[in-house]
């Protein structure tokens, strides 16, 4: 990935997790779909009950319809899944990242690859602008929350150990 596009992205805070694929974008990836490009424009898929207007409000509405509510921070919370929405200073939607069940974050970079990254902030200050909205919803499956929490803390510990070596 070109350094200028994502100035905060380093070889230690992310890794590529897929091949390039033009068929889906970050919004599709945020809702766990890999077959369509989700965007409220002529050539994109967009749910019929959400306004097909290419504005930040439409993206927020999409996630609100899927049960997400505003939240204060990007910290891992057992039993919840989070998304971070990126926009320009002028409020143009640019990107959305999704938190994985182990606390890491995942992003589809346009027509390029999926990456797994430490925090939403590593994609800021470049092509995607800044995180402007953080949303969360409760994960319906009981029992998964505890497993996710254990996995999250194990992953953090592993990264800390590897980072020191």
Partner 1 sequence: MPSASAVLSLPTIPGQDQIFPVASLVSTNIVETQLERRFHALVEEWRNERGPTSSITEMVACPSYRAIIALGKPAIPLILAEMIHRPDYWFAALRELTGANPVRPGHRGDLDAMTRDWILWGLQTHLITTV
Among 22, 89, 160, 164, binds partner 1 (CB under 8 A): 22
> CA–CA separation, 63 vs 19, rounded Å?
26
What are the angstrom distances between the C-alpha of 81 and each of 25, 33, 75, 88, 124? 19, 16, 10, 24, 20
Site membership for partner 1, residue 44 (CB under 8 A) = yes
Residue whose C-alpha is closest to residue 98's, from 49, 66, 136: 136
Site membership for partner 1, residue 35 (CB under 8 A) = yes
> CA–CA separation, 145 vs 5, rounded Å?
35
Site membership for partner 1, residue 23 (CB under 8 A) = yes
Q: On the CB side of 39, how many CA atoms lie within 13 Å of its CA? A: 15
Among 16, 53, 111, 146, binds partner 1 (CB under 8 A): 111
Using the minimum distance from each CB to partner 1, give the nearer residue, 97 or 103: 97
- Rg, C-alpha atoms of the chain: 16
Mask for 74-93, x = binds partner 1 (CB under 8 A): -------------------x
Among 14, 82, 95, 133, binds partner 1 (CB under 8 A): 95
Those residues whose C-beta lies under 8 Å from the C-beta of residue 147, and which sit 6 or more positions away, are 101
Among 13, 61, 64, 127, binds partner 1 (CB under 8 A): 127
CB of 86 to partner 1, least distance (A): 9
- Residues lying near partner 1 in the complex (CB under 8 A): 1-2, 5, 19, 22-23, 25-27, 35-39, 41-46, 54, 93-96, 108-112, 127-128
């Amino acid at each position: 990935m070109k350094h200028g596009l994502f100035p905060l992205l380093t070889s230690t805070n992310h890794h590529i997790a897929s091949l390039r694929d033009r068929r889906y974008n970050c919004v599709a990836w945020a809702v766990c779909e890999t077959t369509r490009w989700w965007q409220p424009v002529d050539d994109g898929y967009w749910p019929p009950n959400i306004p097909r207007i290419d504005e930040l409000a439409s993206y927020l509405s999409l996630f609100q319809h899927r049960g997400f509510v505003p939240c204060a921070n990007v910290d891992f919370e057992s039993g919840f899944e989070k998304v971070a929405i990126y926009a320009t200073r002028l409020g143009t939607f640019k990107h959305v990242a999704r938190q994985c069940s182990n606390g890491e974050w995942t992003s589809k970079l346009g027509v390029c690859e999926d990456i797994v990254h430490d925090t939403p902030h590593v994609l800021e200050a470049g092509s995607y602008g800044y995180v402007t909205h953080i949303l969360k919803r409760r994960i319906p499956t009981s029992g998964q929350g505890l497993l996710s929490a254990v996995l999250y803390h194990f992953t953090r510990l592993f990264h800390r150990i590897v980072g020191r070596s």
